[in-house]
Amino acid sequence: MNRVKEVLKQTTWVLCFAVLAFVLFAGLKIRGQENANAVSKVATEQWEYLALAGPTTTSLIPVDNPRMRKEPSAAFTREAFGLEQQLDKLGANGWELVAVAGPPTDPAYYFKRRK
């Protein structure tokens, strides 16, 4: 009788370890598939870029008309209204400004958007 109990006890432990191993293996396999899907999505994402540069004719004269200012209560003394309008148009077409480089008198603007 003790021998039967001992065999049942060992069998129970073996089954417990087998179930645990199966669960861990299945979890790793699912996690691996999720990671592969995420990497695949990143690899297939495509972007296009737009670089705008050149002399600017943007007026930096202070805008006193509150209807023309986007932030009439802002502490800034000047708004580049013409530049804002152009940036708004690009944003409406999906372009995101990611960098501005160069001297303040002749900046270059860099944009990107999903293809």
Q: Kindly give the confidence (pLDDT) of every residue in the chain, 115 residues in length, as a single tens digit, with 9 standing for 90 and above.
A: 777 777 777 778 777 777 777 777 777 777 767 766 666 666 788 999 999 886 655 554 555 566 666 666 666 666 677 788 888 899 999 999 999 998 888 888 899 999 8
Eight-class DSSP state of 96: E
pLDDT of 47 = 92
β-bridge partners, 53: 108
pLDDT of residue 76: 63
Domain boundaries, the chain: 1-45, 47-114
How far is Cα 97 from Cα 109, in angstroms, rounded to an integer? 7
Q: Which fold has domain 47-114?
A: Gtp Cyclohydrolase I Feedback Regulatory Protein; Chain: K (3.30.1410)
In this prediction, residue 42 carries a pLDDT of 65
Q: What's residue 6's pLDDT?
A: 79
- Report the pLDDT value the prediction gives residue 74, as an integer from 0 to 100: 66
Strands of 28-95 (E only): list them: 47-53
For position 114, what pLDDT does the model report? 92
User: What whole-number distance in Å separates Cα of residue 58 and Cα of residue 30?
Assistant: 55
- Cα torsion angle, 79, 82, 52, 90, sign: positive
| Closest of 110, 105, 109, 111 to residue 56, by C-alpha | 105
The pLDDT, as a whole number, for residue 49 is 92
Can you say whether the dihedral through the CA atoms of 59, 61, 62, 65 is positive or negative? negative
Give the pLDDT confidence score for residue 104 in this predicted structure. Answer: 80
